[in-house]
Amino acid sequence: MSRLFTLLAALLLAGCTSGPRIDSSHTAVSQGPRVDLLVLHYTVLDFPKSLFVLTNQVVSSHYLVDVDPPTIYRLVDENKRANHAGISQWARRTMVNMSSIGIEIVNNGYVDGPNGRVYTPFPPHQIDAVVALVRDIVTRWGIPPERVVGHADIAPGRKQDPGPLFPWKRLADEGLALWFDEARAAALQPRYEASLPDLAWFRQRLAQFGYGVPLTGVDQTLDKATRDVLISFQMRFRPARYDGQPDAETAAILATLTTP
């Protein structure tokens, strides 16, 4: 009798902890994957310090890619939030930690010296590992190329990573990120040299691409927020010169990226 009572009690307890019965026979049309953005960073630290910071402090990332050997470390499960983006915005969505995957790349960032700012290059074998990881992530989550971005894209002015030496065109050639039609941009540039669009045009096109740029309450004076966005854009698509000035070459590149 005692054994029967124990069995019945166990079954009753299991029933109480199994949760409510849920009917899953209906499916909403308006839905999508939780993750729809991939953000690339550099660490500004060597590997031991990067690993310590990303595993023991408030900041974290889903992945860390070392240099030599180019080992990929998973630090946060993709189904969980990592605190890699901070105050951020892309395509009108703010605080993108909740909907993004972050990849930190071990790299020293930049050093300011007497000849200006010098960035640390990425070794080819490390980029090979990053490309393989990006391809795997975007394939599994269905992330389109226009939603593979850098930290500087989602936090202009506050962040510069992955910097002007990151090979965005390599990712674009692999079908993993966006690049512009260089021939078309070269053909458009003389038109913009003859008649440069006003700042409102630049702001509207940058916002159309995805950047968080002020569209109201600003005039035709180049404000800091717009300049910061232009620097991030130029650093990615024209890394030879990222002065934040709305010039003809920048206009031509921006036009090719925002005009079907």
Its CATH architecture, for the domain 37-173, is 3-Layer(aba) Sandwich (3.40)
Question: How high is the pLDDT of residue 14?
Answer: 53
Share of the chain above pLDDT 90, in %: 84
Its CATH architecture, for the domain 182-258, is Orthogonal Bundle (1.10)
- Identify the three-state secondary structure at position 121: coil
- What pLDDT band is residue 42 in, cutting at 50, 70 and 90? very high
| Residue ranges of the chain assigned to CATH 1.10.101.10 | 182-258
Residues 6 or more apart whose Cβ sits within 8 Å of residue 112: 118
Q: What is the mean pLDDT of residues 172-185?
A: 98
Q: Does the structure show a pLDDT above 70 at 93?
A: yes
Q: Is 174 a catalytic residue?
A: no
| Residue ranges of the chain assigned to CATH 3.40.80.10 | 37-173
Q: What is the mean pLDDT of residues 72-86?
A: 97
What distance in Å separates the CA atoms of residue 44 and residue 40, rounded to the nearest whole number? 13
The residue from 78, 104, 174, 193 that is catalytic is 104
C-alpha angle 178-130-185 in degrees, rounded to nearest 5: 20
Residues 6 or more apart whose Cβ sits within 8 Å of residue 67: 47, 106, 107, 123, 126
Residues 6 or more apart whose Cβ sits within 8 Å of residue 208: 258
Q: What are phi and psi of 218, to 5 degrees?
A: -125, 155
Burial (CB count <10 Å: 0-12, 13-18, 19+), residue 93? middle
Q: What are phi and psi of 201, to 5 degrees?
A: -60, -45
Question: How high is the pLDDT of residue 10?
Answer: 53
Place of tokens 């020293």: 108
Q: Which two tokens stand for residue 71?
A: 């080992």
Among residues 71, 257, 232, the alpha carbon closest in space to that of 161 is found at 232
What distance in Å separates the CA atoms of residue 48 and residue 59, rounded to the nearest whole number? 15
Q: Does the structure show a pLDDT above 80 at 65?
A: yes
Report whether 55 contacts 112 (CB < 8 A).
no
Share of the chain above pLDDT 70, in %: 93
Q: Does the structure show a pLDDT above 80 at 231?
A: yes
Q: Does the structure show a pLDDT above 90 at 5?
A: no
Residues 6 or more apart whose Cβ sits within 8 Å of residue 181: 256
- Identify the three-state secondary structure at position 179: coil
Question: How high is the pLDDT of residue 150?
Answer: 98
φ/ψ region of 209 (left if φ > 0, alpha if ψ in -120 to 50, else beta) reads: alpha
Per residue in 119-170, pLDDT (tens digit) is 999 999 999 999 999 999 999 999 999 999 999 999 999 999 999 999 999 9
